[in-house]
């Protein structure tokens, strides 16, 4: 019986993995407390259903404290993406040269609406549209809840504060 229940909360995604995460983020109508994005490479997501500008607007409009860990940009596409995110008062950006993990966590209110994705997909349009990627989508209900909590803890409370993870830009947004 538990194996059947698990499938509702943990799902293997084999196509457009990052887009599944973004779609759930955009289509859910629940307050998001925090967003954690761990991706070595980020671009503007042009040509995708949800662009980085769309994501940044959602973050700004809804005042979602967002924590991004990525590699220091060395390519123009990555620099352009960092510029978009840097303009957002609700986004913190940290660099870690060793990052290879791809983890996305949306912490919501109520907590049962939180969800996460981890797998092979970067936050790039190529990863969304062209590459063969795989990931696990987890919803914070049932047996999925401790997994989402653990991914959030790892991204926000471990990786983000490692000595080699350097702050590039802090959150400047203030709640009134």
Q: Is residue 72 in some structural domain?
A: yes
Structural domain boundaries enclosing 122 = 2-168
- Tens digit of each residue's pLDDT (9 = 90 or more) over 62-83: 999 999 999 999 999 999 999 9
| 175 assigned to some structural domain | no
Look up the CATH number of the domain holding residue 146.
3.30.870.10
Question: How does residue 174 score in pLDDT terms, banded at 50, 70 and 90?
Answer: confident
Task: From residue 175, give the alpha-carbon distance in Å to each of 29, 62, 108, 172.
Answer: 20, 11, 17, 10
- Mean of the pLDDT values across residues 52-65? 97
User: Domain for residue 126, yes or no?
Assistant: yes
Which pLDDT belongs to residue 7?
62
In this structure, is residue 176 part of a structural domain? no
Let me know if residue 66 belongs to a domain.
yes
- The pLDDT of 1-15, averaged and rounded, is 70
Domain assignment of residue 173, yes or no:
no
The structural domain count of the chain equals 1
> Within 10 A of 16 (CB to CB), how many other CB atoms are there?
19
Q: What is the pTM of this model?
A: 0.94
Across the chain, what does the average pLDDT equal? 93
Is residue 155's pLDDT more than 60?
yes
């Amino acid at each position: 019986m538990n194996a059947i229940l698990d499938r509702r909360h943990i799902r293997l995604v084999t196509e457009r993995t990052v887009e599944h995460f973004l779609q759930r983020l955009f289509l859910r109508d629940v307050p998001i407390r925090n967003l954690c994005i761990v991706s070595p490479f980020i671009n503007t997501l042009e040509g995708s259903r949800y662009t980085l500008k769309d994501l940044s607007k959602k973050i700004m409009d809804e005042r979602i404290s967002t924590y991004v860990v990525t590699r220091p940009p060395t390519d123009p596409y990555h620099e352009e993406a960092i510029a978009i995110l840097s303009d957002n008062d609700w986004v913190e950006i940290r660099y870690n040269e060793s990052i290879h993990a791809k983890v996305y966590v949306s912490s919501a209110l109520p907590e049962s609406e939180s969800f996460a994705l981890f797998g092979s997909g970067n936050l790039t349009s190529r990863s969304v549209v062209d590459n063969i990627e795989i990931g696990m989508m987890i919803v914070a209900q049932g047996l999925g809840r401790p997994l989402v909590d653990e991914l959030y803890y790892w991204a926000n409370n471990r990786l983000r504060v490692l000595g080699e993870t350097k702050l590039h830009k802090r959150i400047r947004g203030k709640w009134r």
